[in-house]
Structures are given as C-alpha cells and as structure tokens.
Amino acid sequence: EKKQAITRLGEGMAGGHLRLKAIERTITLVKDYLNISRFWQAEKIIPVATSAVRDAVNQADFLALMRQKTGLKVQVLSGQEEARYSYSGVLTGLPLSGVAPVVVDIGGGSTEFSWKIKKELSSASVQAGAVRMTENASSDEEIKHIFTPALKEVRRDLPQILVGVGGTVTALAAMAQKLKEYDSNKVHGYTLFLKQVEQILITLKNLGLEERRALPGLQPERADIIETGGRIVRIVMEDLGLNTLKVSETDLLYGLAQEKAFSVG
C-alpha cells in the first residue's frame, strides 16, 4: 500500500530558506510515518529529500533538526538521482511493450526528465515545479523559457512515448475521469490526452480557489497549484509533439525501494 501526504516543504522559500512552519509540518508527518513503519515492522527505513532541501540555503540546519527530532539521517538526492529513480520506478509497474519512454516527474520545486538511448540513461533537471512556478506567478512564456534547454535535449532523441509521474500528473488523470474518490487503479496506466489537459485548464481558469477545491478528482490541497502544474504538462506535451501522456503511480518511491531492496539482498 502506498501512503502519501503533502507538506509543502518548499513553500515560500524567500531567499532560498526553508520556512520554520514548513519544516515543522514535515517533521511532524515524518514522525507519523515512522510510527506506521514501526507498526508494520519495516526492516529498513530510507529517508530521502529532493528539490526543496537540495536548493535550500539552510539545508544543513534542516537535516540536523530532522536527525535530532526523528533520529533519521536524510539523504539529499541530486536531480540526476531523482530522475533515475523515477525512471526505474515507472519500469517496475507500467507495461510499455518494449518502447523506451521519456519520463517526466513534475514536483513542487523541480521537474526531472529521464530517458534511455541504447541502454544509457540520460536525464535533465529543471528548477521549476508546480509550487515554485505558482509562487513566482510565471507566465507560459516564462515557463517555456525555463524548460527550453531540457526539452531540447529530450527532443533530440526523438521520444516516442511520454510517461508522467508526480502529484500534478495523477491529479490531472483523476480530474479527467471526474473521480469522486481517488482510485489509484483507475489513475495508474491512464492515457491522458493533450486536449483533456487543455479542457481542464479552461475549466480551472474560470473558477476561484474554493470552487477548484470542490472539483472531482482534485485533492483540495492542490487547488492553488494545479493550474500551473497543468500548464507545465501542456507545454511539455506541445514542445515534444506528443498528444498523449501515460500516467504512472509507480514513481521515484518505487524505484528507490527496488534499488535498496536489491542492495540489501
């Protein structure tokens, strides 16, 4: 069973500093998850951090406080590692009929692309995610400009299939199906069409925050960032010339777990 929650650790990183309230929210949640892990007698707990901590000026303070409060030594993943785990996570749970995908992992603070050419994994990390671009009030043109170098790399290798992971992508899949209750079985493997993303964006544009929170398929806590996340998805699909995106629930978490499971025998 996969359990997840949103803490917005990177929220309001003025001057590149993680905010105390965001840190406290995250530590509280980690403690809860530690209790769950211990209840199920987990043999190994592997704490990792991604974009928000990677970019934080006060990274060392966060890591020290996390260790003090929870006893956990958190590993900060590089953008390349994040992309690699997302790619392997997709392959663990999504049948792709031998076609090598381009995986896009849209997070809160960054977006990672990963793809294979002749068995060699390539990756590109962009310092732009749904939360960061929302807080910056970024226009489509600004988002396109930030993503251009990475998309140029991806496009050069002629991608055939695009697979998306992360909360933005899974939320769009649930919204496209108007799911009253989130159902991972209906989200995982779902084919999201560009025209569906465009229609969702039109709907969101005409709604206020409270109205967005009531939309079927959308987690209320994503209501303020889903429009920007959707624009990132649309821009990526348009730039790569791909009209469909395959949605995967198996992501970085699964890729990381698989590697660590094999490493301990």
The dihedral through the CA atoms of 200, 203, 206, 210 has a sign that is negative
Q: What angle do CA 83, 44, 82 make, to 5 degrees?
A: 5
Residue holding tokens 């055939």?
160
* Residue-averaged pLDDT of the chain: 93
CB neighbour burial string for 123-155, b if at least 16 within 10 angstroms, e if fewer: bbbbebbbbbbbbeebeeeebbebbeebbeebe
Give the Cα separation of 85 and 184 in Å (integer): 20
pLDDT at 2: 78
Q: Which residue from 170, 171, 109, 162 is spatially nearest to 135, judged by alpha carbons? A: 109
Fold identical between 14-76 and 79-253? yes
Instruction: Report pLDDT digits (tens) over 166-222.
Output: 999 999 999 999 999 999 999 999 999 999 999 999 999 999 999 999 999 999 999
pLDDT at 263: 67
**In terms of CATH, what superfamily is 14-76?**
ATPase, nucleotide binding domain (3.30.420.40)
Instruction: Report pLDDT digits (tens) over 111-132.
Output: 999 998 878 899 999 999 999 9
Neighbours of 184 (CB within 10 A): 12
pLDDT at 95: 85
Q: Where are the domains of the chain?
A: 14-76, 79-253
Instruction: Report pLDDT digits (tens) over 149-173.
Output: 999 999 988 788 999 999 999 999 9
Q: Which residue from 2, 6, 4, 3 is spatially nearest to 222, judged by alpha carbons? A: 6
Instruction: Report pLDDT digits (tens) over 13-61.
Output: 868 999 999 999 999 999 999 999 999 998 889 999 999 999 999 999 9
Q: Which residue type does 182 have? A: Y
Out of 3.40.50.12780, 3.90.700.10, 3.40.47.10, 3.30.420.150, select the CATH number for domain 79-253: 3.30.420.150
Instruction: Report pLDDT digits (tens) over 223-243.
Output: 999 999 999 999 999 999 999
Mean pLDDT calculated for residue range 134-140: 94
Q: Has residue 136 got a pLDDT over 60?
A: yes
For residue 16, which phi and psi values (nearest 5 degrees)? 85, 10
Give the Cα separation of 172 and 243 in Å (integer): 15
pLDDT at 3: 82
